[in-house]
Amino acid sequence: MSILVVGSVALDSIQTPFGKVKEALGGSATYFSAASRLYNDVNLVAVVGRDFPQEHVESFRQWGVNLDGLQVADGKTFRWSGRYSYDMNSAETLDTQLNVFATFHPELPESYKESEFVFLANIDPVLQLEILSQIRKPKLTVLDTMNYWINYRKDALTKVISAVDIVLLNEAETRQYGNTFSLIRAAHKILSLGPKALVVKKGEYGAVLFANNGDLKDSFFFAPAYPLEKIQDPTGAGDSFAGGFVGYLASRKSTSMDDIKRAMVHGSVVASFTVEDFSVGRLRALTRDQIQERYLDFKRFTNFEPTCPWSDSCTHLAPCEGAVASQ
Protein backbone atom coordinates (compact mmCIF):
# COMPACT_ATOMS: atom_id res chain seq x y z
CA MET A 1 0.00 0.00 0.00
CA SER A 2 2.40 2.71 -0.95
CA ILE A 3 1.80 6.41 -0.66
CA LEU A 4 2.30 8.80 -3.54
CA VAL A 5 3.03 12.46 -2.89
CA VAL A 6 3.43 15.20 -5.46
CA GLY A 7 4.46 18.68 -4.31
CA SER A 8 7.39 20.96 -3.72
CA VAL A 9 10.91 20.33 -2.48
CA ALA A 10 12.37 23.68 -1.51
CA LEU A 11 15.10 25.58 0.24
CA ASP A 12 13.50 27.73 2.94
CA SER A 13 14.86 30.81 4.70
CA ILE A 14 12.78 31.46 7.80
CA GLN A 15 12.73 33.90 10.70
CA THR A 16 10.66 33.42 13.83
CA PRO A 17 10.89 35.17 17.22
CA PHE A 18 12.98 32.20 18.36
CA GLY A 19 15.61 31.96 15.63
CA LYS A 20 16.23 31.71 11.93
CA VAL A 21 17.54 29.35 9.25
CA LYS A 22 18.89 30.00 5.75
CA GLU A 23 18.20 27.68 2.81
CA ALA A 24 17.08 24.81 4.99
CA LEU A 25 15.34 21.75 3.56
CA GLY A 26 11.64 22.54 3.08
CA GLY A 27 8.70 22.23 0.72
CA SER A 28 5.29 20.57 1.01
CA ALA A 29 6.39 17.19 -0.35
CA THR A 30 9.42 17.21 1.96
CA TYR A 31 7.43 17.74 5.15
CA PHE A 32 4.84 15.24 4.00
CA SER A 33 7.50 12.60 3.24
CA ALA A 34 9.44 13.16 6.45
CA ALA A 35 6.21 12.42 8.37
CA SER A 36 4.48 9.74 6.31
CA ARG A 37 7.65 7.60 5.95
CA LEU A 38 7.18 6.74 9.63
CA TYR A 39 4.00 4.90 8.64
CA ASN A 40 4.55 3.50 5.17
CA ASP A 41 6.48 3.43 1.88
CA VAL A 42 6.50 6.77 0.13
CA ASN A 43 6.85 7.55 -3.60
CA LEU A 44 7.93 11.14 -4.18
CA VAL A 45 7.18 13.22 -7.28
CA ALA A 46 8.90 16.61 -7.27
CA VAL A 47 11.60 18.69 -8.95
CA VAL A 48 14.86 20.20 -7.70
CA GLY A 49 17.59 22.21 -9.45
CA ARG A 50 21.20 21.30 -10.07
CA ASP A 51 22.13 23.22 -6.92
CA PHE A 52 20.13 20.95 -4.62
CA PRO A 53 22.52 19.78 -1.88
CA GLN A 54 23.39 16.09 -2.05
CA GLU A 55 23.01 15.80 1.73
CA HIS A 56 19.27 16.47 1.34
CA VAL A 57 18.98 13.73 -1.27
CA GLU A 58 20.65 11.48 1.28
CA SER A 59 18.05 12.48 3.88
CA PHE A 60 15.23 11.28 1.65
CA ARG A 61 17.16 8.05 1.04
CA GLN A 62 17.63 7.51 4.77
CA TRP A 63 13.91 7.93 5.24
CA GLY A 64 13.39 5.18 2.68
CA VAL A 65 11.59 7.52 0.27
CA ASN A 66 11.43 6.29 -3.32
CA LEU A 67 13.09 8.99 -5.47
CA ASP A 68 12.38 7.55 -8.94
CA GLY A 69 9.97 10.45 -9.48
CA LEU A 70 12.34 13.20 -8.32
CA GLN A 71 13.39 15.22 -11.36
CA VAL A 72 16.66 17.15 -11.36
CA ALA A 73 16.23 20.05 -13.80
CA ASP A 74 18.62 22.65 -15.19
CA GLY A 75 18.34 25.73 -13.01
CA LYS A 76 17.99 26.52 -9.34
CA THR A 77 15.83 24.84 -6.70
CA PHE A 78 12.58 26.50 -5.57
CA ARG A 79 13.28 28.95 -2.73
CA TRP A 80 10.88 30.44 -0.22
CA SER A 81 11.60 33.02 2.43
CA GLY A 82 9.17 33.92 5.21
CA ARG A 83 8.80 35.45 8.63
CA TYR A 84 6.55 34.77 11.61
CA SER A 85 5.77 37.18 14.44
CA TYR A 86 4.48 36.07 17.86
CA ASP A 87 1.18 35.09 16.29
CA MET A 88 2.46 31.90 14.71
CA ASN A 89 -0.76 31.12 12.85
CA SER A 90 0.26 32.80 9.61
CA ALA A 91 3.51 33.56 7.82
CA GLU A 92 4.51 36.73 6.02
CA THR A 93 6.13 35.77 2.71
CA LEU A 94 9.29 37.81 2.12
CA ASP A 95 10.34 36.23 -1.17
CA THR A 96 9.33 33.41 -3.52
CA GLN A 97 11.68 32.19 -6.27
CA LEU A 98 9.91 29.45 -8.22
CA ASN A 99 13.02 28.65 -10.32
CA VAL A 100 12.72 25.05 -11.70
CA PHE A 101 9.28 24.77 -10.06
CA ALA A 102 7.88 27.32 -12.55
CA THR A 103 8.09 24.84 -15.42
CA PHE A 104 7.58 21.67 -13.37
CA HIS A 105 5.64 19.01 -15.19
CA PRO A 106 5.20 15.96 -12.96
CA GLU A 107 5.67 12.57 -14.59
CA LEU A 108 4.81 9.35 -12.86
CA PRO A 109 7.28 6.49 -13.06
CA GLU A 110 5.44 3.32 -14.11
CA SER A 111 5.75 1.75 -10.67
CA TYR A 112 4.14 4.77 -8.97
CA LYS A 113 0.90 4.29 -10.90
CA GLU A 114 -0.10 1.46 -8.56
CA SER A 115 0.07 3.72 -5.48
CA GLU A 116 -3.10 3.45 -3.47
CA PHE A 117 -2.88 6.43 -1.11
CA VAL A 118 -2.30 9.70 -2.92
CA PHE A 119 -1.49 13.14 -1.51
CA LEU A 120 -1.69 16.05 -3.94
CA ALA A 121 0.19 18.76 -2.06
CA ASN A 122 -0.21 22.43 -2.88
CA ILE A 123 0.66 22.87 -6.60
CA ASP A 124 -1.21 24.11 -9.67
CA PRO A 125 -4.57 22.26 -9.74
CA VAL A 126 -4.07 21.62 -13.46
CA LEU A 127 -1.04 19.49 -12.57
CA GLN A 128 -2.94 17.83 -9.71
CA LEU A 129 -5.59 16.73 -12.22
CA GLU A 130 -2.94 15.32 -14.55
CA ILE A 131 -1.44 13.28 -11.73
CA LEU A 132 -4.82 11.96 -10.65
CA SER A 133 -5.61 10.73 -14.14
CA GLN A 134 -2.45 8.60 -14.16
CA ILE A 135 -3.13 6.67 -10.95
CA ARG A 136 -4.71 3.31 -11.82
CA LYS A 137 -6.76 2.38 -8.77
CA PRO A 138 -6.37 4.87 -5.95
CA LYS A 139 -7.92 3.80 -2.66
CA LEU A 140 -7.76 7.30 -1.17
CA THR A 141 -6.93 10.66 -2.75
CA VAL A 142 -6.25 13.70 -0.58
CA LEU A 143 -5.87 17.27 -1.78
CA ASP A 144 -4.23 20.40 -0.39
CA THR A 145 -4.17 23.84 -2.02
CA MET A 146 -3.68 27.53 -1.16
CA ASN A 147 -5.33 30.96 -1.54
CA TYR A 148 -3.39 31.67 -4.77
CA TRP A 149 -5.14 28.85 -6.65
CA ILE A 150 -8.53 29.81 -5.20
CA ASN A 151 -7.95 33.28 -6.65
CA TYR A 152 -6.47 32.38 -10.03
CA ARG A 153 -7.40 28.77 -10.88
CA LYS A 154 -10.80 28.31 -9.27
CA ASP A 155 -12.25 26.31 -12.19
CA ALA A 156 -9.44 23.78 -12.28
CA LEU A 157 -9.37 23.65 -8.49
CA THR A 158 -13.10 22.92 -8.40
CA LYS A 159 -12.50 20.01 -10.79
CA VAL A 160 -9.85 18.49 -8.51
CA ILE A 161 -11.99 19.02 -5.43
CA SER A 162 -14.79 17.12 -7.19
CA ALA A 163 -12.42 14.31 -8.09
CA VAL A 164 -10.71 13.60 -4.75
CA ASP A 165 -11.89 11.84 -1.58
CA ILE A 166 -10.66 14.26 1.08
CA VAL A 167 -9.82 17.97 0.94
CA LEU A 168 -7.45 19.63 3.47
CA LEU A 169 -7.69 23.41 3.79
CA ASN A 170 -6.91 25.97 6.42
CA GLU A 171 -9.65 28.06 7.95
CA ALA A 172 -9.18 31.16 5.76
CA GLU A 173 -9.01 29.07 2.56
CA THR A 174 -12.24 27.28 3.50
CA ARG A 175 -14.08 30.57 4.02
CA GLN A 176 -12.52 32.02 0.86
CA TYR A 177 -13.48 29.07 -1.34
CA GLY A 178 -16.99 28.91 0.15
CA ASN A 179 -17.34 32.69 -0.06
CA THR A 180 -18.98 32.87 3.38
CA PHE A 181 -17.86 33.66 6.91
CA SER A 182 -19.69 30.61 8.26
CA LEU A 183 -17.21 27.74 8.36
CA ILE A 184 -20.00 25.17 8.43
CA ARG A 185 -21.71 26.61 5.37
CA ALA A 186 -18.40 26.86 3.53
CA ALA A 187 -17.72 23.24 4.44
CA HIS A 188 -21.09 22.14 3.10
CA LYS A 189 -20.45 23.96 -0.18
CA ILE A 190 -17.16 22.12 -0.61
CA LEU A 191 -18.65 18.76 0.35
CA SER A 192 -21.50 19.29 -2.12
CA LEU A 193 -18.89 19.08 -4.89
CA GLY A 194 -18.27 15.42 -4.12
CA PRO A 195 -15.48 14.77 -1.63
CA LYS A 196 -16.22 12.41 1.24
CA ALA A 197 -14.67 14.71 3.81
CA LEU A 198 -13.13 18.11 4.43
CA VAL A 199 -10.47 18.67 7.08
CA VAL A 200 -10.12 22.29 8.16
CA LYS A 201 -6.74 23.07 9.75
CA LYS A 202 -6.88 25.83 12.39
CA GLY A 203 -3.27 26.07 13.51
CA GLU A 204 -3.01 26.37 17.30
CA TYR A 205 -6.78 25.78 17.50
CA GLY A 206 -6.55 22.26 16.10
CA ALA A 207 -8.37 20.72 13.15
CA VAL A 208 -12.00 19.85 12.40
CA LEU A 209 -13.43 17.19 10.14
CA PHE A 210 -16.66 17.61 8.19
CA ALA A 211 -17.79 14.39 6.54
CA ASN A 212 -20.28 14.01 3.74
CA ASN A 213 -22.63 11.53 5.35
CA GLY A 214 -25.80 13.35 6.14
CA ASP A 215 -26.56 14.65 9.60
CA LEU A 216 -23.93 16.91 11.13
CA LYS A 217 -24.06 14.89 14.32
CA ASP A 218 -22.51 11.91 12.62
CA SER A 219 -20.13 13.82 10.44
CA PHE A 220 -18.22 16.22 12.66
CA PHE A 221 -15.02 15.53 14.56
CA PHE A 222 -12.61 17.76 16.40
CA ALA A 223 -8.91 17.26 17.18
CA PRO A 224 -7.22 19.97 19.27
CA ALA A 225 -3.63 21.02 18.71
CA TYR A 226 -1.15 19.49 21.15
CA PRO A 227 -0.39 22.07 23.85
CA LEU A 228 3.20 23.20 23.43
CA GLU A 229 4.98 25.72 25.62
CA LYS A 230 7.32 26.78 22.87
CA ILE A 231 6.92 26.68 19.10
CA GLN A 232 10.13 27.26 17.16
CA ASP A 233 8.84 27.35 13.60
CA PRO A 234 5.32 26.57 12.32
CA THR A 235 6.49 25.96 8.73
CA GLY A 236 5.41 22.54 7.50
CA ALA A 237 2.80 21.98 10.20
CA GLY A 238 0.04 21.53 7.60
CA ASP A 239 2.02 19.27 5.29
CA SER A 240 3.30 17.08 8.11
CA PHE A 241 -0.28 16.93 9.44
CA ALA A 242 -1.15 15.51 6.02
CA GLY A 243 1.79 13.11 6.35
CA GLY A 244 0.53 11.72 9.65
CA PHE A 245 -3.04 11.69 8.36
CA VAL A 246 -2.44 9.86 5.08
CA GLY A 247 0.38 7.80 6.60
CA TYR A 248 -1.85 6.40 9.33
CA LEU A 249 -4.63 5.50 6.90
CA ALA A 250 -2.15 3.80 4.55
CA SER A 251 -0.67 1.82 7.45
CA ARG A 252 -4.20 0.70 8.40
CA LYS A 253 -5.14 0.07 4.74
CA SER A 254 -8.40 1.76 5.70
CA THR A 255 -10.62 4.66 4.75
CA SER A 256 -13.30 4.05 7.41
CA MET A 257 -14.67 7.07 9.28
CA ASP A 258 -13.34 5.70 12.58
CA ASP A 259 -9.85 5.47 11.13
CA ILE A 260 -10.17 8.91 9.53
CA LYS A 261 -10.85 10.33 13.02
CA ARG A 262 -7.78 8.59 14.41
CA ALA A 263 -5.83 9.82 11.38
CA MET A 264 -6.77 13.39 12.37
CA VAL A 265 -5.17 12.79 15.75
CA HIS A 266 -2.06 11.30 14.12
CA GLY A 267 -1.87 14.38 11.91
CA SER A 268 -2.07 16.66 14.94
CA VAL A 269 0.55 14.62 16.80
CA VAL A 270 3.04 14.72 13.93
CA ALA A 271 2.48 18.45 13.35
CA SER A 272 3.13 19.10 17.05
CA PHE A 273 6.60 17.61 16.66
CA THR A 274 7.30 19.48 13.41
CA VAL A 275 6.88 22.92 14.98
CA GLU A 276 9.27 22.16 17.84
CA ASP A 277 12.26 22.77 15.58
CA PHE A 278 13.18 24.51 12.34
CA SER A 279 12.93 22.70 9.00
CA VAL A 280 12.58 18.93 9.38
CA GLY A 281 14.90 18.92 12.40
CA ARG A 282 12.45 17.29 14.79
CA LEU A 283 10.92 14.95 12.19
CA ARG A 284 14.35 13.45 11.44
CA ALA A 285 14.62 12.07 14.95
CA LEU A 286 10.98 11.17 15.39
CA THR A 287 9.97 7.59 16.24
CA ARG A 288 6.69 5.66 16.21
CA ASP A 289 6.96 5.29 19.99
CA GLN A 290 7.06 9.04 20.45
CA ILE A 291 4.04 9.40 18.17
CA GLN A 292 2.17 6.76 20.17
CA GLU A 293 2.96 8.53 23.44
CA ARG A 294 1.43 11.82 22.29
CA TYR A 295 -1.48 9.95 20.71
CA LEU A 296 -2.31 8.62 24.18
CA ASP A 297 -1.93 12.16 25.58
CA PHE A 298 -4.60 13.28 23.10
CA LYS A 299 -6.94 10.69 24.56
CA ARG A 300 -6.41 12.18 28.01
CA PHE A 301 -6.85 15.71 26.68
CA THR A 302 -10.21 15.06 25.07
CA ASN A 303 -11.98 12.15 26.79
CA PHE A 304 -14.49 13.09 29.43
CA GLU A 305 -16.14 9.71 29.79
CA PRO A 306 -14.22 6.55 30.65
CA THR A 307 -13.02 4.49 27.71
CA CYS A 308 -13.11 0.75 27.89
CA PRO A 309 -9.67 -0.84 28.20
CA TRP A 310 -11.07 -3.94 26.51
CA SER A 311 -12.50 -2.05 23.58
CA ASP A 312 -10.18 -3.60 21.02
CA SER A 313 -11.48 -7.07 21.67
CA CYS A 314 -15.04 -6.53 22.73
CA THR A 315 -18.40 -5.46 21.42
CA HIS A 316 -19.84 -4.54 24.81
CA LEU A 317 -22.66 -7.05 24.63
CA ALA A 318 -22.81 -7.13 28.41
CA PRO A 319 -21.27 -5.40 31.42
CA CYS A 320 -17.72 -6.39 32.28
CA GLU A 321 -17.34 -9.64 34.12
CA GLY A 322 -16.87 -9.05 37.82
CA ALA A 323 -17.94 -5.47 37.39
CA VAL A 324 -18.33 -3.51 40.60
CA ALA A 325 -19.77 -0.07 41.14
CA SER A 326 -16.97 2.39 40.61
CA GLN A 327 -18.36 5.11 42.82
- What residue ranges bind a copy of itself (CB under 8 A)? 86-87, 181-182, 184-185, 202, 205-206, 208, 216-218, 220-224, 227-230, 258, 261-262, 264-265, 297-326
Terminal-to-terminal C-alpha distance of the chain? 47
Shortest distance (Å) from residue 223 CB to a copy of itself: 8
Among residues 150, 145, 157, 210, the alpha carbon closest in space to that of 176 is found at 150
Going by C-beta distance under 8 Å and a sequence separation of 6 or more, which residues neighbour residue 13? Answer: 20, 21, 22, 23, 24, 79, 80, 81, 82, 94, 95
Cβ distance 102 to 124 under 8 Å? Answer: no
Pick 285 or 308: Cβ nearer a copy of itself:
308
Pick 127 or 184: Cβ nearer a copy of itself:
184
Shortest distance (Å) from residue 230 CB to a copy of itself: 7
Pick 151 or 302: Cβ nearer a copy of itself:
302
Q: d(Cα 304, Cα 324) in Å, to the nearest integer?
A: 20
Segments in 164-256 forming alpha helices (H): 171-178, 183-191, 237-252
Q: d(Cα 31, Cα 279) in Å, to the nearest integer?
A: 8
Shortest distance (Å) from residue 196 CB to a copy of itself: 18
Pick 24 or 208: Cβ nearer a copy of itself:
208
Pick 23 or 171: Cβ nearer a copy of itself:
171
Among residues 311, 303, 194, 239, the alpha carbon closest in space to that of 29 is found at 239
Shortest distance (Å) from residue 29 CB to a copy of itself: 27
Pick 75 or 301: Cβ nearer a copy of itself:
301
Pick 65 or 211: Cβ nearer a copy of itself:
211
Q: d(Cα 321, Cα 318) in Å, to the nearest integer?
A: 8
Pick 89 or 96: Cβ nearer a copy of itself:
89
Shortest distance (Å) from residue 108 CB to a copy of itself: 33
Among residues 231, 236, 246, the alpha carbon closest in space to that of 284 is found at 236
Q: d(Cα 321, Cα 272) in Å, to the nearest integer?
A: 39
Shortest distance (Å) from residue 271 CB to a copy of itself: 15
Shortest distance (Å) from residue 20 CB to a copy of itself: 18
Cβ distance 168 to 136 under 8 Å? Answer: no
Shortest distance (Å) from residue 42 CB to a copy of itself: 24
Nearest 5°: phi and psi at 231? -110, 125
Cβ distance 5 to 29 under 8 Å? Answer: yes
